[in-house]
A and B are shown apart, each in its own frame.
Chain A
Amino acid sequence: MIDYDYKKPESLEEVFSLLKEYGPKATLIAGGTDVMVNIRNTKKAPEVLISLRGLKDLRYIKKNKGYHIGALTTHRMLELSELVKTELSALYDGASRIGSVQVRNVATIGGNICNAAPSADTAGPLLVLDAQVVLEGPKGRRNVPIAEFFTGTYKTVRKQGEVLVEFQIPAEMGHFGSAYWKHSRRKAMNLPILGIAVSLKLDDETITDARIGLTVAAPTPVRAYKAEEFLKGKQLTGDVLKEAGKIAASPECCSPRDSIRGEAWYRREIIEVYVARMAMLAAEKIKNR
């Protein structure tokens, strides 16, 4: 057995004081589906786990001048939310494809983002929904745009003493349509070879705004800004979307590598094809409202 201590604080204040007391010897645990697997895989454990499960009021999905999602919201809650499904569709697509129901019942969106795996299935959706990550420390809160949150593989800007408390999505995202594609070999229980998220805003057939988020396409989840710029003001046609896909797949936007799950050239081809397909799906979401 691998030994470590475990603390279950009841409030954020208690979490902060425990984080201060233990410093780098402590690791936060939410659903534990990354933390526990990591401990068992590496046979190494932090000295103490600080559980966030006591923070029951950090589980919510709300709409009120924008969208607010508590850090401890499970993927299952996201998957079952009508609001998420209809107004933040890409997030529904991402959350509902994580692991299996068993995993989604306990795993949280905050854990998915703080773990910062290049393959995190909610990262692409949150990128194209312009989410802000709200971090709280003993001295108060700060907001970080999700596009600036990841600094490397399994690395983020979160400071040791901080807790991710909420994701905020601007109200205007409700006027966008969005979609996410998890490209993987099997339908269930598989990490993506690639993740492609797109959100669009339309005025008739003109694309007035667009976001493209890619995962497993670079050391961190990334936005394909060049391809987004290209789309703005263009008509929603197959040719335009195809060109956007080409730009998104180019070295200007991403740097996929060869890995056992897929080679770089293959990933680029998938990006090219699926950026166009997800843009089409995103547009359909708007038209079907």
Chain B
Amino acid sequence: MERFKVKLQLNGEAVELDVNPSETLLETLRDRLELTGAKDGCGLGACGSCTVLLNGLPTRSCIVLTAELDGSEVSTIESLADGTKPAPVQESFMEKGAVQCGFCTPGMILTAKGLLDRNSRPTKEEIIRSISSNLCRCTGYKKIVEAVEAASSTETPKT
């Protein structure tokens, strides 16, 4: 079976990979690159815990093949903090108590980040619509929405 050479811009660095055709991006990240921030929840595209930013858009890494991604830009939760200093959206998740068991958190934060990068002042309605792609079994969502609202006033808009 042919293997695939894939070049990615991963968390700001150029990487060159040699992957199996049937390898998902989530498998590449977790098993090959030991970036375990993206979680393997349902593995079926339903829960959003495996969310990463693919060319800036929140995407489910469990149902995307790495072989498809040559030339793409991938950002995982590991890239958000600046050294040990958390990003504003991470700060506000902590401040607002939007994290309980934490399993959904990387996906939630990246989904929120994907929204805030495009729209630095989303309405509550837009926040709810956006994070409706991710499941959380602990928090009841209220605090997550509050955290994204809080982050929307501190996150510096990208131009």
Contact = CB atoms under 8 A, between A and B. Distances in A.
Contacts of A1: 20, 22-23, 27
Contacts of B130: 101
Contact of A101 (B44, B45, B133): B133
Interface string B48-59: 100100000111
A224 B65 CA distance: 40
A188 B4 CA distance: 36
Contacts of B62: 36, 40
Interface residues of A, number: 27
B129 interface: yes
B43 A5 contact: no
A101 B129 CA distance: 8
A189 B132 contact: yes
A101 B58 contact: yes
Contacts of A153: none
Interface in A1-52: 1-6, 8, 32-33, 36-37, 40-41, 45, 49, 51
A6 B67 contact: yes
Contacts of B46: 189
B24 to A, nearest CB: 8
Contacts, number: 78
Contacts of A106: 59, 64
B13 interface: no
A261 interface: no
B113 interface: no
Contact of B20 (A3, A40, A101, A189): A3
A102 interface: yes
A53 B70 CA distance: 12
A274 B46 CA distance: 28
Contacts of B39: none
A6 B4 contact: yes
A44 to B, nearest CB: 12
B29 interface: no
Interface string A46-67: 0001010100000000000000
A25 B43 CA distance: 24
B82 interface: no
Interface string A81-117: 0000000000000000001111101100000000000
B2 A103 contact: no
B111 A102 contact: yes
Nearest to B135: A189
A37 B4 CA distance: 22
A226 interface: no
Interface of B: 1-2, 4, 20-24, 27, 43-46, 48, 51, 57-60, 62-65, 67-68, 111, 129-130, 132-133
9 contacts: A3-B1, A6-B65, A32-B63, A36-B62, A36-B63, A101-B133, A105-B59, A106-B59, A188-B132
- What are the 9 closest A-B residue pairs judged by CB atoms, nearest first? A100-B133, A6-B21, A188-B132, A36-B63, A102-B133, A4-B22, A37-B44, A6-B67, A37-B45
Given A40-B63, A102-B133, A105-B57, 4 more contacts: A1-B27, A40-B62, A100-B48, A102-B60
